Amino acid sequence: MYYGTKKGDGFVKEKSKIRGIPANTIVLPLEIALSILLILIIILVIELNRSNNKLADLLEQSGIYQLEVWNLQAGVNTLSETITNYIQKPVFDDGSSNIGPLIAYVQELDRDRRGPQIADRFRNLNVGSDAQSLLDNAAEISVAMMEIQSHAITLMRSVYPLPPVPELSALPDSPLTDEELSLPEEGRAGLARRLILDQDYVQMKYFVAEDISTCNNIFAQEFSRLTLETKQHVKILRTVLWCVIFSIVIILFFIFIVILFWLVKPLRDHSREISSDKDMKQTSRILEMQVLVNAYNALLNRRNKLESILRSAAETDTLTGLPNRYSMKRYELEADEESGSMAVIVFDINFLKQVNDTQGHLAGDQLIRTTGECIRESFDNGNNNCYRLGGDEFAAVLRDCSEENVKARIEHFRLALKRENISVSVGYAFTENIDKRSFKELFDEADRRMYENKKQIHELEFDNSTD
């Protein structure tokens, strides 16, 4: 074997005789052994992947079954709760109809989770006679409960007529007997309450819950058995796979000893680059080292992107998609170091509590989202300058603007509110040069003006209500 030693422009060959086993007698058996082990790994990985997929399918199927069953329970509970809320209080103290529960009742009827619908879907899945019998029984009881609910609604509507609201046109109607029609109004209302609040109706709800719970137990036991069998199979496969991997590691250890001196310097250089948290440079001609460098650089890039995503998520309000209070606080730290004109506009939704109390929190959330859209439409400059501070409070920051432009945007915003039939209090503060006033001063002034506007709106609303 020859070793080259550089001398001048050429090489001087030095011949050195090596004693020992020829390389081919070691490499060839190692290659054969590695090939066999790699083929075995491929077979094991394919089988392990198939078993894992089977396990994932079982878990997914179990989740679907449980979700469908609990959808039936949720549908029954939602209908019962909404109709009970209406029956207990069909009108408010001021004489207006309590239509919120009825609207929620109609919306629930539109959802695809009625008892017979779910029972039919399970019938196509061949879930077993015991489970199917329980589902069919729960579906029959839920239908009977809906008939009682329809009758109670009709009785109560005969006493307290409903306003002409389009959403209520889909309410079910049940014919009343002559005996029921001959009852006085309080008698019909009392009969409606008894239908919904008596022990028989409550027991029907209990029977539905009991059937669904038993059905879920049957599903859980069957899926647990199948899951346990699959997990045991996966465990055996993993044990064999680890043994094969360990054999490969031993073989690779001997190979690594041979090529170690080719890796020492590149690894030393790359360790310094890792410590500096910078991208690695390709300095090695070894393919495995290049793959390592590329993998590290890709990982570093993904980490940076993930940090950016997490930072964006922490600074964004999930309901409106606007930057949140934390984002505005971070901007406040930078704003006082800038120069030029600035305007801070503060908003507060009026009567949000009344909307939540009368129409529900879903309607309140929609009011908040619509307000955020109006603010974005009127004040967004494309640089995330509109914020939701929390609850019903919003803010916007305009840079390098004039006071006339601020007023024009506020006027545009009021038109958008009028279009959406929303009431929002607004206050703003403006300065020609942010060097002369701090961001907090502008915000406090805008906030004070907003509350003055809010006070005027509520006083006007109070005067109109008393008239």
Residue type, 357: D
* The predicted structure's pLDDT at residue 16: 40
355 in the same domain as 461: yes
Q: Which residues have C-beta within 8 Å of that of residue 196, sequence separation ≥ 6?
A: 80, 83, 84, 87, 148, 149, 152
* The predicted structure's pLDDT at residue 314: 78
Tally DSSP H helices, then E strands, for the chain: 13, 6
Phi, psi of 372 (to 5 degrees): -60, -40
Of 173, 196, 306, 233, nearest to 51 (Cα)? 233
Gyration radius of the chain's alpha carbons: 36
CATH number at residue 335: 3.30.70.270
Q: Is 240 within a domain?
A: no
Rounded CA separation 429/64 (Å): 54
Rounded CA separation 66/216 (Å): 6
Rounded CA separation 444/446 (Å): 5
* Total number of residues shown for the chain: 467
Rounded CA separation 394/384 (Å): 13
Domain end among 289, 313, 337: 313
* CB distance 115 to 143 below 8 Å: yes
Interval 333-367: pLDDT, tens = 887 777 889 999 999 999 999 999 999 999 999 99
Determine what percent of the chain is predicted with pLDDT higher than 90: 23
Residue type, 411: E
Q: Which residue range is the domain that position 375 belongs to?
A: 325-466
In this structure, the number of other CB atoms found within 10 A of the CB of residue 86 comes to 27
Burial class (CB in 10 A: 0-12, 13-18, 19+), 85: middle
Q: Is 241 within a domain?
A: no
218 in the same domain as 101: yes
Q: Is 52 within a domain?
A: no
Q: Is 16 within a domain?
A: no
**pTM to 2 decimals?**
0.40
* CB distance 372 to 391 below 8 Å: no
Q: Is 97 within a domain?
A: yes
DSSP-assigned beta bridge partners for residue 428: 345
Q: Is 32 within a domain?
A: no
| Strand (E) or helix (H) holding 185 | helix 185-197
Interval 396-449: pLDDT, tens = 999 999 999 999 999 999 999 999 999 999 999 999 988 888 899 999 999 999
Give the residue carrying structure tokens 């090529």.
259
Ordered mean pLDDT values, 10 residues apiece, the chain (467 residues) = 43 44 62 84 85 71 71 79 88 86 84 71 70 81 85 87 85 86 89 87 85 79 77 85 84 69 67 73 63 74 73 81 90 81 95 92 94 94 89 93 94 94 95 86 94 89 63
181 in the same domain as 291: no
382 in the same domain as 283: no
Q: Is 160 within a domain?
A: yes
438 in the same domain as 389: yes
221 in the same domain as 72: yes
199 in the same domain as 80: yes
Rounded CA separation 79/463 (Å): 39
Number of domains in the chain: 3
In this structure, the number of other CB atoms found within 10 A of the CB of residue 296 comes to 15
Q: Is 82 within a domain?
A: yes
68 in the same domain as 127: yes
* The predicted structure's pLDDT at residue 261: 63
* CB distance 452 to 348 below 8 Å: no
* The predicted structure's pLDDT at residue 442: 93
* The predicted structure's pLDDT at residue 418: 94
414 in the same domain as 380: yes
201 in the same domain as 89: yes
212 in the same domain as 93: yes
User: What's CA 273's distance to the chain center, in Å?
Assistant: 38
* The predicted structure's pLDDT at residue 356: 92
359 in the same domain as 432: yes
